[in-house]
Amino acid sequence: MVIGRGGREHAICQKVKESPLVSQVFVAPGNAGMADAAALVPIQESDQTALIHFAKTHNVDLIIIGPEAPLLEGLGDRFREVDLRVFGPSKAAAVIEGSKSFAKDLMVKYGIPTGEYGVFSNYEDAKEYLYRKGAPIVVKADGLAAGKGVVVAKTILEAEEAIREMLLEKKFGEASAKVVLEEFLEGEEISLMALVHGETVIPLETAQDHKRAYEGDRGPNTGGMGAYSPVPHINSEIVKEAIDSILKPTAKALVKEGRPFSGVLYGGLIITETGPKVIEFNARFGDPETQVVLPRMKSDLVEVILRLLEGDTPEIVWENEAILGVVVASKGYPNQCETGAVLHGLADLSPDVFVFHSGTAKNDEGQYITHGGRVFLIAAKGNTIKEAQGTVYSELEKVQCDGIFYRKDIGHRAL
C-alpha cells in the first residue's frame, strides 16, 4: 500500500506493481489518473485510524509512505506500533525535513558539509545578521512549505522583504515562525536519494530537478517543474564523495541521536568548488525526481526494500538509458491557480512515454481535468538526455488544454 496522491506515488505504484512478489497494490487516496497502477482507497493520508484498519483487514504486507506531511504526523510510528511493515521514517527522524534548523544543527554537530547559517525567530536579529552577511543570501522558512518556502535573495532588500513576510506576516503560518538565513552556495545542483535503514545506505542514481517556475531557471521556487536522470555532467567521483561525506554520515548521525532513519533519505546538494554541500534534506522520495529515477531501476524495488528492512544491503541494478520528465502545471502555479480545465489528447500519447498524474481528476463526462498546481508529468527514455527531451516535447504537443503551462527547457543544464 502506497500512501499519497501525487506523481511520485503514481511512479512508486507503477514500479511496485512490476514486482513478482506483489499480487495487489493499493494507494490511499491516490488520484483518478493512477487507477491503472493501483486500487484507489478513499482514505486521507491524515486518517491514521482508518489507514491502520484498512491495512490490517486487507493483510497489507508493506506500506510505503510518499509525502512528508503524514511522516511528520507520525504515521510511520503508528503503523509500526501495530506491527505493520512500513518503509518511511519515524516522526523523530523525519524532522530532518520538517525543521531546517534541526537539519542544519545536526550537520554542524557531525561535520556534514553545508553552508553557513543563522536561525531566527526575531525580526530585528535576523535583520542584523542579514546586514552583517550581505547578499546574495538565502531565506528559508524553518518548517514545511511545499518547496515554496525558500527565497534566493540577490539583494539585501529582497532578503529583508522575505524575512518580513515570513516572520512578521507569517506567510507560511507556524512553518515560518522561525527562519534560516543561509549562505548562498554556487554550483551545480543535484538530488541524491538513498534507501536507508539505520546505518545501511543504498544510493539511487542521481537526478536533477528544475525548481524554478519559468524558463532559464527564473521565477519563484516550486515543488519541481521537471527532472532528468542521470546527471551526465556530475561525475561518479563526486557522487561517491557525496555518499561518503553526506548520506552515510547523516544516517549514522541519526542513529546516534536516537532517531534511526528507515525510508528514503534525499539530499538536495550543491556541488561547490570545495565539494558537495547540503542545501536540504527530505525524508522521502523526491517529486518529480522519483518519476525519472524509478523507471531506470532494473531491480525489483519491493525485494530491495524487504531485504533492506531485514538487515541486508542488496545491490541495485540500473539501466543505462537516460530519462527526462516535464511537469505540466496549472496556469498560475506556484501561486493561486485555476483548475477544472479539460485536458485533451492524453489518450493519444505514445505507449512508450510515462505519464504520471499528480493533479488530475475526472469530470462527469469522464474527461480528465486539471485538479491541482502540478497536473501531470510526461517522461521518456532515450540514449541521451537530448533524445529523451525531444520525445517528451513532441509528445506534449498532443496535449491540448487552455489552463496549463510547462517549461520548454527541461534538461538544458545537461545539454
| Residue 209 CB contacts under 8 Å (≥ 6 apart), including other chains | 189, 191, 224, 225, 226, 227, 286, 288, 289
152 contact choice in ligand AMP, ligand GLY, none (CB below 5 to 8 Å, kind-dependent): ligand AMP
Residue where the block lists cell 503524514: 70
Supply φ then ψ for residue 107, to 5 degrees.
-65, -45
142 contact choice in ligand GLY, ligand AMP, none (CB below 5 to 8 Å, kind-dependent): none
395 contact choice in ligand AMP, ligand GLY, none (CB below 5 to 8 Å, kind-dependent): none
Cell of 17: 506493481
Is residue 99 near ligand AMP by the rule CB under 6 A?
no
Select from 9, 97, 160, 280 the one that contacts ligand AMP (CB under 6 A): 280
Select from 14, 19, 221, 360 the one that contacts ligand AMP (CB under 6 A): 221
Stretch 111-140: interaction string toward ligand AMP, x if CB under 6 A: ----x----------------------x--
CB-CB contact of 165 with 119 (8 Å): no
Select from 211, 259, 374, 407 the one that contacts ligand AMP (CB under 6 A): 211
Residues in contact with ligand GLY, counted by CB under 6 A, come to a total of 8
Cis check: omega of the bond before 29, within 30 degrees of 0: yes
- Cβ proximity to ligand AMP: between 260 and 268 the closer is 268
Residue where the block lists cell 537526478: 207
With H, G, I as helix, E, B as strand and everything else as coil, classify residue 76.
helix
- Cβ proximity to ligand GLY: between 77 and 97 the closer is 97
Give the Cα separation of 305 and 272 in Å (integer): 32
Cell of 348: 493519444
Is residue 289 near ligand AMP by the rule CB under 6 A?
no
- Cβ proximity to ligand GLY: between 283 and 401 the closer is 283
- Cβ proximity to ligand AMP: between 93 and 138 the closer is 138
Cell of 364: 462527469
Restricted to residues 343-362, the positions that interact with ligand AMP (CB under 6 A) are: none
Cell of 378: 510526461
Residue 312 burial (CB count, 10 A): 13
Select from 68, 182, 205, 287 the one that contacts ligand AMP (CB under 6 A): 182
- Cβ proximity to ligand AMP: between 58 and 154 the closer is 154
CB-CB contact of 148 with 165 (8 Å): no
Is residue 223 near ligand AMP by the rule CB under 6 A?
no
Give the Cα separation of 18 and 30 in Å (integer): 18
Give the residue among 176, 83, 78, 68 at the shortest CA–CA distance from 126: 176
Is residue 279 near ligand AMP by the rule CB under 6 A?
yes
Chain residues in the site for ligand GLY (CB under 6 A): 147, 209, 223-224, 282, 286-287, 289
Chain residues in the site for ligand AMP (CB under 6 A): 115, 138, 147, 150, 152, 182-185, 189, 211, 221, 268, 279-280
